[in-house]
């Protein structure tokens, strides 16, 4: 059995072909980074227009690289939400069209849950119960999982996502877009202890995250210490300190969640999971707690369709009402808005 996954929730047009043994036959990702870079962030209208331009080519390329004819696809899977509504609708409409023409089932998947499934592509036998931390440009969410299709949201950001905070500080410093990978690189040369940042704390004891206070503290430090873009030591020290503050905020909540939920394993995913310091801290923390840690290959951390296909296949196999062919399927911009 072959499944084709499609992802267009944000600024990547992606398609992937997976077989029923979870072997990835192809994965094509076309990034729009260069189009949005001059604006310092994603311009939704430009994003949907680019998806329209690219979707046919990206899907055709995924099928070509898999070495198959599109008629051989047995099941389609597509990201239904959350994301930019105009972008989501391009992938969703295209997938509906393909499923309708070829008379095949269509499985709608949730983008945040798909990020978690990027881990299962390489590690099919994850130990459960698990705690899964999804850290990206749009989401910072912590899930308690009893099995692969059981997600209980136990913590989420109340304001900015972790990647968004990194991107905004990078934009303020005129570093470029997306800022996360640029900070990752420059922070390597910096002293993370030079600028101490306090840890955000939820007064209600919840496991929610908050990054807006950290961002304000960073802006104050930039003003006070006269931080400017460049190769200077102080600039790299500032980036290393800020990046570590974001990582500590993530790890602090994870530590509290581990005490509360007593998982057997920890999963890290989402675009920010590419960050080398975060990967190191996460692995070290899991080692200290004697827990198994799963972190996807960096290429599967940022948006891709392999993760959509992986979750689609899992949902299709589990049967259930979601695996039919609903022509009236609609996209949802926020997770809370899904029906």
CA distances to 64, 135, 155, 186 from 301, rounded to whole Å, are 24, 9, 20, 20
Q: Can you count the helices (H) and strands (E) in the chain? A: 10, 10
Structure tokens at 127: 């130990």
Q: Which is nearer to Zn ion, 160 or 303 (CB)?
A: 303
Q: How far is the CB of 219 from ligand KG4 (least distance, A)?
A: 18
Q: By CB under 6 A, name the one of 271, 294, 295, 322 that touches ligand KG4.
A: 271
Closest listed residue to residue 43, CA positions, set 89, 86, 88, 91 = 86
Among residues 2, 10, 73, 116, which is the contact residue for ligand KG4, using CB under 6 A?
Answer: 10
Q: Name which of 161 and 236 has its Cβ closer to Zn ion.
A: 161
Residue 39 is given by DSSP the state G
| 167 in contact with ligand KG4 (CB under 6 A) | yes
Shortest Cβ contact with ligand KG4: which residue? 271
What does DSSP say about strands 292-294 and 265-269: parallel, antiparallel, or unpaired? parallel
Give yes or no for residue 163 binding ligand KG4 (CB under 6 A): yes
CB contact burial 14-24 (16+ within 10 A = b; e otherwise): bbbbbbeebeb
Q: Give the separation between CA 211 and CA 163, rounded to whole angstroms.
A: 10
From the list 65, 79, 57, 70, the residue with the least C-alpha distance to 103 is 70
Name which position in 73, 303, 305, 311 contacts Zn ion (CB under 5 A). 303
Nearest approach, Cβ of residue 181 and ligand KG4 (Å): 4
- Looking at 8, 27, 79, 136, which residue binds ligand KG4 (CB under 6 A)? 136
Q: How far is the CB of 20 from ligand KG4 (least distance, A)?
A: 26
Q: How far apart are CA 272 and CA 321, in angstroms?
A: 33
- 80 is a site residue for Zn ion (CB under 5 A): no
Q: Which stretch binds Zn ion (CB under 5 A): 48-56, 97-105, 202-210, 302-310?
A: 302-310
Minimum CB distance to ligand KG4, residue 328 (Å): 26
3 state DSSP class of 51: helix
Which has the closest alpha carbon to 308: 10, 82, 107?
Answer: 107
Answer with the entry of ligand KG4, Zn ion, none that 167 interacts with (C-beta below 5 to 8 A by kind): ligand KG4
Q: Which residue, 6 or 272, has its beta carbon nearer to ligand KG4? A: 272
275 scored as a contact of ligand KG4 (CB under 6 A): yes
The dihedral formed by the CA atoms of 19, 24, 25 and 29, expressed in degrees to the nearest 10: 130
Q: Which is nearer to ligand KG4, 166 or 311 (CB)?
A: 166
CB of residue 15 vs ligand KG4: minimum separation in angstroms?
16
Q: Does 281 bind Zn ion (CB under 5 A)?
A: no
Stretch that binds ligand KG4, among 120-128, 151-159, 216-224, 269-277 (CB under 6 A): 269-277
Distance CA 245, CA 45 (A): 33
Q: Which of 272, 286, 295, 307 binds ligand KG4 (CB under 6 A)?
A: 272
- Nearest residue (CB) to Zn ion, 164 versus 303: 303
User: What mask, x for binding Zn ion by CB under 5 A, covers residues 102 to 141?
Assistant: ----------------------------------x-----
CA distance 132 to 254: 9
**Residues at the interface with ligand KG4 (CB under 6 A):** 10, 136-138, 163, 166-167, 178-181, 184, 270-272, 274-275, 302-303
Name the residues that contact Zn ion, by CB under 5 A.
136, 303
């Amino acid at each position: 059995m072959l499944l084709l996954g499609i992802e267009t929730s944000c600024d990547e047009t992606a398609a992937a072909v997976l077989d029923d043994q979870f072997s990835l036959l192809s994965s094509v990702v076309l990034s729009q980074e260069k189009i949005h870079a001059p604006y310092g962030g994603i311009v939704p209208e430009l994003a949907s227009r680019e998806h329209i331009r690219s979707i046919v080519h990206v899907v055709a390329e995924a099928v070509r690289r898999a070495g198959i004819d599109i008629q051989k696809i047995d099941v389609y899977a597509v990201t239904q939400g959350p994301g930019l509504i105009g972008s989501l609708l391009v992938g969703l409409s295209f997938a509906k069209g393909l499923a309708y023409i070829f008379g095949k089932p269509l499985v709608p998947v949730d983008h945040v849950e798909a990020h978690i499934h990027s881990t299962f592509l390489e590690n099919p036998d994850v130990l459960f119960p698990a705690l899964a931390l999804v850290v990206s440009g749009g989401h910072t969410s912590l899930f308690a999982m009893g099995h692969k299709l059981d997600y209980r949201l136990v913590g989420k950001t109340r304001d900015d996502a972790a990647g968004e905070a990194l991107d905004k500080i990078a934009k303020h410093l005129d570093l470029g877009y997306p800022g996360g990978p640029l900070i990752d690189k420059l922070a390597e040369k910096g002293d993370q202890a030079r600028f101490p940042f306090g840890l955000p704390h939820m007064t209600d004891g919840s496991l929610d995250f908050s990054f807006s206070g950290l961002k304000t503290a960073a802006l104050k430090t930039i003003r006070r210490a006269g931080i400017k873009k460049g190769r200077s030591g102080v600039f790299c020290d500032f980036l290393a300190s800020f990046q570590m503050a974001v990582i500590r905020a993530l790890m602090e909540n994870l530590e509290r969640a581990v005490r509360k939920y007593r998982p057997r394993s920890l999963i890290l995913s989402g675009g920010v999971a590419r960050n080398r310091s975060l990967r190191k801290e996460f692995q070290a923390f899991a080692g200290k707690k004697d827990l198994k840690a799963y972190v996807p290959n960096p290429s599967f951390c940022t948006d891709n369709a392999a993760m959509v296909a992986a979750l689609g296949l899992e949902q299709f196999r589990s049967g259930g009402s979601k695996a039919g062919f609903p022509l009236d399927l609609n996209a949802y911009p926020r997770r809370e808005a899904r029906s």
